[in-house]
Amino acid sequence: MNVAVIGAGPSGLVTLKYLVSAHTFLGTEPIETLLFKSEDTIGGTFPARTYEDAELVSSKQLTSFSDFRLRDDDPDFVSAERYLKYLHEYCEKFRLWSQIKLSTTVVSVKPNIKGKGHTRTGKQKSWTCDAIAVCSGLHVTPNLPEIPGLEDHVPLVMHSSQFKSRSQFVTNRTVMVLGSGETGADIAYLAVTSPTKQVVMCHRSGFHFALKVGPPCLDFPDTQERGIPVAYVHPLLRNSNALWTFYDWYVKGILWLNTGTSGGLDQIVGEPSPEKNHVSKIFFNKSSKASPYISYPYRLNSKGSLVDRIRSGIIQSPDIVICWTGYKQSFPFLDRDHYPRQKRPT
What percentage of the chain carries pLDDT values higher than 90? 29
The verdict on 17 and 33 lying in the same domain is yes
On whether the CB atoms of residues 141 and 323 are closer than 8 A, the answer is no
Residue where a domain stops, chosen among 139, 168, 203: 139
Q: Give the pLDDT confidence of 116-140 residue by residue, as tens digits.
A: 555 555 555 788 888 889 887 655 6
On whether the CB atoms of residues 200 and 176 are closer than 8 A, the answer is yes
Buried b (16+ CB within 10 A) or exposed e, 326-336: ebeeebebbee
- Give the number of domains in the chain: 2
Q: Give the pLDDT confidence of 53-99 residue by residue, as tens digits.
A: 998 888 888 889 999 999 989 988 899 999 999 999 999 999 999 99
What percentage of the chain carries pLDDT values higher than 70? 67
The model's confidence at residue 201, banded by pLDDT at 50, 70 and 90, is confident
Supply the CATH number for residue 42's domain: 3.50.50.60
Q: Give the pLDDT confidence of 137-186 residue by residue, as tens digits.
A: 655 678 888 888 888 888 899 988 899 999 999 999 999 999 888 888 89
Mean pLDDT of the 327-340 span: 70
The verdict on 197 and 93 lying in the same domain is no
Residue 11 confidence (pLDDT): 93
The verdict on 122 and 149 lying in the same domain is no
pTM exceeds 0.85: no
The verdict on 52 and 148 lying in the same domain is no
Mean pLDDT of the chain: 78
Instruction: Note whether residue 336 is domain-resident.
Output: no
The verdict on 108 and 150 lying in the same domain is no
The model's confidence at residue 27, banded by pLDDT at 50, 70 and 90, is confident
Instruction: Note whether residue 339 is domain-resident.
Output: no
